[in-house]
Chain A
Amino acid sequence: MISSERVVKIVLFLSSLLIILVTAGMVLSLMNGSIPVFKEIGLRFIISSQWNPTEGSEEYGAMAFIAGTLMTSFIAIIICFPLAFSTSLFIGEYYSGTRIARIVGTLVDMLAGIPSIVYGLWGFYVLRPLIVDLGLNAQGFGIFTAGVVLAIMIIPYATSISTEIIKMVSSDLKEAAYSLGATRREVILNVLIPNARSGIFTSFVLAFGRALGETMAVTMLIGNANIIPDSIFGAGNTMASVIANQFGEAEGLKLSALITIGLLLFVITGIINGIGKLIIKKFNS
């Protein structure tokens, strides 16, 4: 006779195995799909920036998309930083616990609720004409346009952890500085930031990880050119956007190339998130 306790424990354990199997299965499927690329192109795939689906002279490389992904994500994080950091100070320090902080916090959370495709539409109809008017790019599509929209999209991810960390800084420390006659700015720069540094850094690392994989909004704004962008206002493609763009008509080696890009994206986001998690773990212990 097996006790009910055992049955429950076994069911729970099996369900946990399921999630491991799903994740391992994903990695295996992606690796399996990328075999043709590694057979025919090899490691050159990663460093080559050629993308030529013409039959007979087929040649695929991921470098243009890796470059596009990194460029858009870096632009996003640079623009996001002053916005998200100020908002964290606003909610977690200046107006901590007040009604206005709650309202601002709710609005920032709402940013996370807007579907990617709606950001894309907004970028296309509102931001893109603005970029054209400013004369930054004739069509308004490009790395920069995509980066700006990405920056807005990742604000809630960057803000949420930083705010918590900023709130956690002990008020004893802050009050000690105030009693020495420090101004609020000096308390923030000399007490709050040094104490919350790694937490704030982590939140931006995780936000960066989000930016790497965003698809729809970027696809709609980046200009979809399979080249290494010639400037930050130039057109390009990210790893996610090239999959979305070219998947429909893909088969054979091209399909395998897109899957390999998916695998690379999986690995890169995994590494970035892993770094973020490691810093959190170190910070907590």
Chain B
Amino acid sequence: MAFAKQISGEGALKRRVVKNRLFAGSVIFFSMLTISPILLIVYKLVAKGYRQINIDFFTKKAPDTYEAMVAVGAGEVIPGGILNGIAGTLYMVFIASLIAIPVGLLIGIFLYDQQSKRYAGVVRDVVDILQGVPSIVLGLIAYFWVVKNITNGFSALAGSTALAIMMMPLIIRSTEETLKMIPETIIEAGFALGVPYHKIILRVLIPSGFSGLLTGILLAISRIIGETAPLMLTALGSMQVNFQIDKPTSAIPLLIWEFYNDPNMVDLIWSSSLLLMMMVLLLNLLSRQIIARRS
């Protein structure tokens, strides 16, 4: 046997020890290489973006090209902020959540309730398919369903629809996983007391799984908040702060894309990206905190 041949002899032993060390070394080396991009990216965003972050950044709309050009020419910080993007992102994420959270929770509860039934298996497969659909394709879909047929133009609703379809599978999955962890005895105790089914859901399942459900929702939001491609096809972007659901709306990632394509505004990409990253990190941290407190 090859293995037996490997371990015989003094020199062979040394060789095996050296190989073992080399292997461990390369595992550590590649692992460090893996985590270096996150550090490099965060460093780059902070180093280049912090200068632009001030009160105006949160309270003023994006400047036009001319204002930006003058400021850059004079070596000053670009005036204005990204209020239209911040407002649009919060608004569209809010609408998307209004659609996706109730539907996601209901389907998650359904899958938990039906567990091993055949139809539940089909639904689970469909959820998996939906989760794998590239976001740009969801943008195409929202364009056809909402932009073409409901709002007759690019709109916040179309953007939210694309985002909601992205959120749903994530919430469904986390809901089902959370509910499965709840001890069955608690639920059976409820049934034994003659509690009706809807009250079991509202008073037993949701409260005892609350932290898990909330974590799933927060993580789903953190996954969609930076989405750009589907919004390009649906919300389009706007220079104004817009809360009308049937009008084009800006979002932070859409603004980053506009700044990236405009040589005068390019300095604003770093601060906007930094803010977007902070929002994602905050959501992740929050959900980690919730998980930590539960266990």
| Chain A residues proximal to chain B, CB less than 8 Å | 3-5, 7-9, 11-13, 15-16, 18-20, 22-23, 25-26, 29-30, 33, 82-87, 89-91, 94, 104, 107-111, 113-122, 124-126, 152, 155, 159, 181, 183-186, 188, 190, 209, 212-216, 219-220, 240, 243-244, 247-248, 258-259, 262, 265-266, 269-270, 272-274, 277
Contacts and interface: CB of A to CB of B under 8 A. Distances in A.
Nearest to B6: A186
6 contacts: A16-B123, A110-B284, A115-B228, A117-B228, A213-B132, A274-B129
Given A19-B127, A185-B19, A86 B228 contact: no
B144 A33 contact: yes
Given A152-B37, A185-B23, A115 B110 contact: no
A37 B224 CA distance: 32
Contact of A12 (B19, B110, B136, B222): B110
Interface string B16-47: 11011001101111110111011111001100
Which of A11, A121, A125, A270 counts the most B-chain CB atoms under 10 A from its CB?
A: A121
B251 to A, nearest CB: 11
Contact of B197 (A8, A22, A33): A8
Nearest to B39: A107
B201 interface: yes
Nearest to B112: A12
B82 interface: no
B228 A216 contact: yes
Interface of B: 3, 6-7, 16-17, 19-20, 23-24, 26-31, 33-35, 37-41, 44-45, 103, 106-107, 109-111, 113, 119-120, 122-123, 125-130, 132-138, 140-141, 144-145, 165, 168, 172, 196-199, 201, 222-223, 225-229, 232-233, 253, 256-257, 260, 269, 273, 276-277, 280-281, 284
Contacts of A215: 134-136, 228-229
A16 B107 contact: yes
A262 B27 contact: no
B171 to A, nearest CB: 11
A21 B257 CA distance: 33
A209 B39 CA distance: 26
Contacts of A120: 260
A240 B229 contact: yes
Contact of B276 (A33, A90, A118): A118
B153 to A, nearest CB: 14
Contacts of B135: 213, 215
Chain A CB count within 10 A is highest, among B128, B129, B256, B284, for: B129
A15 B133 contact: no
Given A86-B34, A247-B232, A30 B141 contact: yes
B102 to A, nearest CB: 8
Contact of B168 (A19, A82, A209): A19
A155 B281 CA distance: 18
A12 B105 CA distance: 10
Contacts of B27: 86, 89-90, 94
Given A12-B109, A110-B281, A277 B40 contact: no
A12 to B, nearest CB: 4
Contacts of A117: 226, 228, 253, 256-257, 260, 273
Among A16, A113, A214, A277, max chain B CB count under 10 A is at A16
Contacts of A121: 256, 260, 269, 273
A285 B201 CA distance: 31
Contacts of B45: 118
Contacts of A122: 37, 40-41, 44
A9 B232 contact: no
A262 B19 contact: no
- Interchain residue pairs A-B with the least CB separation, the first 6: A213-B134, A115-B226, A86-B30, A15-B106, A215-B229, A90-B31
Contacts of A186: 3, 6, 16, 20
Contacts of A30: 137, 140-141
Contacts of B123: 16, 19-20
Given A90-B27, A113-B284, A114-B280, A83 B132 contact: no
Nearest to B230: A215
Nearest to B161: A22
Contacts of B113: 9, 12
A16 B20 contact: no
B3 A190 contact: yes
A221 B37 CA distance: 17
Contact of A266 (B6, B133, B269): B133
